[in-house]
Amino acid sequence: MVIIGQYFPPDLGGAATRAYNAAKGLLLNKCEVTVVTAFPHYPHGKIPKEYKWKPLKVEWVGEIKVLRTFILPLESKGLARRIILFGSFVISSLFALALVEKTDVIWAANPDIISMMPAMIYSKVKRSPVVSNVDDPLLEDLYNLKLMKKGSLMSKVAELVARICYKKAEAVTPISPGYVETIKKYGIEKSKIHVIRGGVDVAIFKPSTPQHNTRTKFTVLYSGAFSIAYDFVQVLKAAKIVEEKYQEVEFILQGKGELTNHIRSKVRELNLKNVKVIDKVFRREEVAELLNQADTLILPLRDFGKPYIGMSSKLYEYQAVRKPIICCADGEPADYVKETNSGIVVKPGDDKKLAEAVVFLKENPKKAEEMGAQGRRYVENNVTIKTVGVKLKKVLEECMQLD
């Protein structure tokens, strides 16, 4: 099986995580997996020196064969740069075509429309069916982030391309049930849409062995990309409120991205002494270790003006390390946290309620422990990468039979 996606670890973000989880999940279910992806680049645009001046590089991640292809060294910031990066990968991903052996099925991982473009060519050459994944419907994402105006000439062209790409797929595998209606708008029958959640590698993301706790501070942590999809101002304003009453509470923001300078500037503006910014990309194992050191974990999605229909893979990782979650969101992420009883939901943008949630978890450690335990229990029973791999393999095999 071949997975085509612009993002793959060590890139940050849910798309990279999802591609890795799918690859390993299929591998655990006795599939041979080859991944075609770009050189590590997201979100900072810095290409590691071992990839420079090369059109592609063959690697192995465990038993997963990874074919990494050239991409321009640009920070993922603004619409113009994103379009250039997308185009760069669409072209360079074809460099690996000759190195891909006979394949039974192709899974276009991320971004959905972008990865479908080379996937359709692979499909023709390799005579294999193609399935389109949807982490975030690319166009809806651009509209929500106000990077593209709906109804503009560019958006109409993009929607036509999206319609063609989705139509060419034998099946579509969104990570969130909230995406089903959006995908149907492109003329896709509901019978071709199969919701398969992102999942989590519980062998990496797991509670650490209890040790003697020498920490004196209650720690609130965000780990991931510093992207415009998140509202870090809400977090920092809440930190200011908490700081005035509780000196023993610390907020940590770890990651990298286009909002890094904005975050640091806001920390200085508010004169925050209880916020630590770790401007660094961590390996997956390092992220798991960092999550285990926190007392509560936060997902601060911005206010999109309507309920958020996507699902952050970050939530599964948070649950897997058995920590209570503070979810600042409307829509699918908020519903998920409520249904799994794994944390507290706060309206996006409400810094006062966020501060109250932090204080509540600090002062109610038994309740916090209970939330963490329920989250871990849920992922073990429902969204391990092996479980997700079973579901994805079934969809891919059905498409092979239809072809």
Q: Has residue 215 got a pLDDT over 70?
A: no
Distance CA 252, CA 219 (A): 7
Interior angle at CA 106, CA 100 and CA 111, nearest 5: 105
Count of residues in the chain: 403
Tokens of 216: 């004196």
- Cα separation of 248 and 225, whole Å? 26
CA 22 to CA 110: how far, in whole Å? 12
Is residue 213 very low, low, confident or very high in pLDDT (cuts 50, 70, 90)? low
- pLDDT greater than 70 at residue 221: yes
Percent helix, strand, coil in the chain, to 5, is 45, 20, 35
Work out the percent of the chain whose per-residue pLDDT is above 90. Answer: 75
Domains of the chain: 2-199+384-402 (3.40.50.2000), 218-382 (3.40.50.2000)
Residues 173 and 196: beta-carbon distance below 8 Å: yes
* pLDDT value of position 212: 46
